[in-house]
Amino acid sequence: MTPPNNAETPEAAPRPSNFIRDIMVEDARIGKHSGRVLTRFPPEPNGYLHLGHAKSICLNFGLSKEFGGATNLRFDDTNPEKEEQEYVDSIIDNVKWLGFQWQEPVCFASDYFQQLYDWAVQLIQSGKAFVCDLNAEQVRQHRGTLTEPGKHSPFRDRPIEESLDLFARMKAGEFPDGTRTLRAKIDMASPNLNMRDPVMYRILNAEHHRTGNAWCIYPMYDYAHGQSDSIEGITHSICTLEFEDHRPLYDWFVQQLGIFAPRQIEFDRLNLTYTLLSKRKLLQLVQDNHVSGWDDPRMPTLSGIRRRGYPPEAIRNFCANIGVSKTNGILELGLLEHYVREDLNKRASRYMAVLKPLRVVIDNYPEGETEWLDAVNNPEDESAGTRKVPFSKVLYIEQDDFKEDPPKQFFRLSPGREVRLRWGFYIVCQSVVKDEAGNIVELRCTYDPLTRGGGAPDGRKVKATIHWVSAEHAVNAEVRVYSTLFAKENPNDVEEGKDFLSNINPDSLEVLADCKLEPALGTLAVEECVQFERLGYFCVDKDSAPGKPVYNRTVALRDAWAKIEKRGK
């Protein structure tokens, strides 16, 4: 029997195991939770998702799918001051775009506010929590350090009845922000600072994007998170390493409450060179107008890379292949680009586009005539077929493809030299036309009609093939070429007194406003991704207007060609 073909989606493709998967294999073997698997992706709606979140999404959804389970999308919306509906909407949109479907309905920690409150009351009643009248600064002073134990709050042993009364009055809105908290009563001498009577609730007279003004006390993330997992019956609560020290606290809460205990497993955060994956810093880039928005194509947000033209398949493949580990590291940005190229190489149709045009007149070609040449759409995919490309007397080629005084290793066009026009004819440069300032403005060339399709009947060879666009038929376009947003491999590596903004790359965006595209490139839909032959992969930007497309460079082709170029100089 042939094995089932489960390779149609990348997340179903067989791949090496990892320690989280191993745990789940073992849980399945011993029939833990009767084989039920439910994971969750729990973003806080305080910014747009980035590539780090993609790793977490692929892991959570990928594993639950493999084990026949499901994944919840849950918003950890416990911080009303920083959270917004816009972020909720973008996150939902991004997860769908990545290709994953959560178990309905979308969950919100705010849906559990009443339950969390009732449990807090229960903890007070059992002497495990107390209302503390210290302010934030005093709580900090009492906490101690890694080497010194903390001090008990003077309110720690106040009567249960008093705490119950005060907590109810906190909820009723009797006290101003920050004047009281509800704290767990655990162990002020614990070596784990998270266990030193952590705050469970604070007073915050802030409107919440979902609950409005129903609440003026809000649970801390550390109190809400584990119980939210428990309420939903999450079997494997997969999160990043910084939560390892919080696990004992999450376990403590569910134990005290006697409720379902999910198992938390931590993995390494994704870090990439030349990239920052922190919502706080990305927000700053947006707010201070260093980028055009959360979806600026230079941003590592999912909205940004989508607009840049990175396919979701490439992101899934990247995430599947980088695996997970127990220590944080930093990956080369080039590795991500590799997966983008690999994917686009298979799927993107090839076209010709001239980004920095130089006019070429074919002197021996008849005036006013057009012929349509056959061009292959994708040499990697025969089913993509062919298209017709117009050829006429006046063409554009790249300025870089001509040198009046060529160095030794330069094989492209120069005076007297013959080259092949892609899908077209051999041409020879006969003369150079310059303006008064001495700039080259036009080349006069001749073509050999017998070389149509790119070969000479007499067998003579040329050393270069260059791309071109017919001037009469060209679509004018703007092309935006990006490089990394940060100039330093580690953008957080800053000189004293400076911050990450000092590492911004001032040349991360180059706008080429006078590009010439072959006609077919004038009618593609926004987000469509193509290859401009010899230049790289590009996609249609949402800023395109009818008759005036805007393209983003997604990623350059592998630059072997530029290396040869360098050697020649």
Give the residues lining the site for ligand ATP (CB under 6 A).
Answer: 42-44, 52-53, 55-56, 239-240, 269-270, 277-280
In this complex, which beta carbon is closest to ligand ATP, that of residue 117 or of residue 243? Answer: 243
Active site residue 279: yes
CB of 60 to ligand ATP, least distance (A): 8
Full strand arrangement of the beta sheet holding 394-398? 465-466, 418-421, 426-434, 440-448, 357-362, 394-398, 469-470
State the catalytic residue, choosing from 21, 55, 183, 279.
Answer: 279
In this complex, which beta carbon is closest to ligand ATP, that of residue 279 or of residue 341? Answer: 279
Asked if residue 131 lies in contact with residue 140, where contact means CB atoms within 8 angstroms, the answer is no
Secondary structure class of 222 (helix, strand, coil): helix
CB of 9 to ligand ATP, least distance (A): 21
In this complex, which beta carbon is closest to ligand ATP, that of residue 106 or of residue 456? Answer: 106
Backbone angles phi, psi at 537, to 5 degrees: -105, 140
Which residues 6+ apart lie within 8 Å of 81 measured at CB? 204, 206
CB of 87 to ligand ATP, least distance (A): 9
Distance between CA atoms of residues 382 and 379, nearest Å: 6
In this complex, which beta carbon is closest to ligand ATP, that of residue 158 or of residue 290? Answer: 290
Distance between CA atoms of residues 166 and 175, nearest Å: 9
Q: Which H or E run contains 515?
A: strand 509-517
Full strand arrangement of the beta sheet holding 38-41? 38-41, 70-75, 107-108
CB of 315 to ligand ATP, least distance (A): 13
Residue 73 has which token pair?
């999308």
State the catalytic residue, choosing from 32, 128, 210, 269.
Answer: 269
In this complex, which beta carbon is closest to ligand ATP, that of residue 316 or of residue 420? Answer: 316
Secondary structure class of 402 (helix, strand, coil): strand
State the catalytic residue, choosing from 11, 21, 40, 44.
Answer: 44
In this complex, which beta carbon is closest to ligand ATP, that of residue 82 or of residue 356? Answer: 82
CB of 58 to ligand ATP, least distance (A): 10
Opening angle at CA 171, ends 139 and 142, nearest 5: 5
Amino acid occupying residue 214: A
Which residues 6+ apart lie within 8 Å of 491 measured at CB? 274, 275, 276, 500, 503
CB of 486 to ligand ATP, least distance (A): 16
Asked if residue 273 lies in contact with residue 333, where contact means CB atoms within 8 angstroms, the answer is yes
Active site residue 442: no
Q: Which H or E run contains 434?
A: strand 426-434
In this complex, which beta carbon is closest to ligand ATP, that of residue 43 or of residue 549? Answer: 43
- Which residue's beta carbon is nearest to the bound ligand ATP? 52
**CA count, 13 A, side-chain hemisphere, 25:** 6
> For the chain, how many residues are written?
569
In this complex, which beta carbon is closest to ligand ATP, that of residue 229 or of residue 533? Answer: 229
CB of 83 to ligand ATP, least distance (A): 10
Backbone angles phi, psi at 281, to 5 degrees: -75, -35
CB of 282 to ligand ATP, least distance (A): 7
Active site residues: 44, 269, 279
